[in-house]
Amino acid sequence: MKRGCLENIVFGAVLLIVFGTSTYFWFTFFVKGRSLPTPNLIGRSIADARAVTRDLGVELEVDDAHRRNSDKVPLGNVVWQNRTPGATSLIKRGSTIRVELSAGPLVLRVPDFAGMTAGTAMLRLGQQNMKLNTVSYVGADVKGVLEADPPKGTVVAPQTAVALLVGVPPPPPQYVMPDLIDRRLDAVRPALEARGLTVSTVKYEAYPGIADGIIIRQYPLRGSPVSGRDGISVVVSRQEETSIIESPAAGPAPGGPG
């Protein structure tokens, strides 16, 4: 009885070993046998990367639409792959590894700011990983950025400070505001416009005893500084309109001569 029980235990143990060995074998054959550690293609040339993937039965897809700057990977070599390399990341035969190529080290050059406003140039500097140093303004016929320091096209390090020289229109000449009171608007306006001054606002107001078209108030006041950037406002006299109603021709008085 004891011997038979012992034989059953031994038989069960052998059966368990055989089953475990068989399971491991078929798992290795179907899963691990068809899966491989993902190769590390970073830093390899395209020719080397294709040779590696071809030997492993894996497809290589090069993303020509995107490139990445790198200070470590030479220009044109693989700089990124979509699968993590190593034994912990398995890849099956027939699968595809997508890669991007290196664009070489990032080279920063001072942009051409010609014609840009100071605000636009500041935004451009931020986009190019640079920063603003100082902004100087000078009267010029050409508006916008005239010069940059360092000058355009200069290769610089990240966060380099760039100074800008910006042209602005020269200020118009200034005059002393004359006394316009009691003068006719149609005579004053051409004289002001000949000096670049503009009568921007004209209001009319009834003023008894003064003829039409006479300036009765002004702004700026007499003696104030004024330039072409300042609008001149005047109040001009206008007589009140009166309605004259004529009576019909009177007939002969009653009882008068016919």
**Cβ(144)–Cβ(114) below 8 Å:** yes
pLDDT tens per residue, range 105-119: 888 899 999 989 999
Rounded to the nearest angstrom, the gap between the alpha carbon of residue 110 and the centroid of all alpha carbons in its chain is 17
**Structural domains of the chain sorted by starting position, each given as residue range(s) with its CATH number in brackets:** 30-102 (3.30.10.20), 108-168 (3.30.10.20), 174-237 (3.30.10.20)
Distance CA(153)–CA(246), nearest Å, equals: 86
- Has residue 1 got a pLDDT over 60? no
- Candidates 102, 107, 119; CA nearest to 41 is 102
Within 10 angstroms of residue 220's Cβ, the number of other Cβ atoms is: 14
Half-sphere exposure of 158 (CA within 13 A, CB side): 4
- Has residue 253 got a pLDDT over 50? no
Res. 79 pLDDT band, cuts 50 70 90: very high
> Which helix (H) or strand (E) is 7 found in, with range?
helix 2-27
- Has residue 235 got a pLDDT over 70? yes
pLDDT tens per residue, range 190-222: 999 998 999 999 999 988 888 899 999 999 999
Res. 152 pLDDT band, cuts 50 70 90: very high
- Has residue 14 got a pLDDT over 80? no
Which has the higher per-residue pLDDT, 87 or 123? Answer: 123
DSSP 140: -
> 46-50, 82-86, 126-130, 247-251: which has the minimum mean pLDDT?
247-251
Distance CA(159)–CA(12), nearest Å, equals: 74
Res. 15 pLDDT band, cuts 50 70 90: low
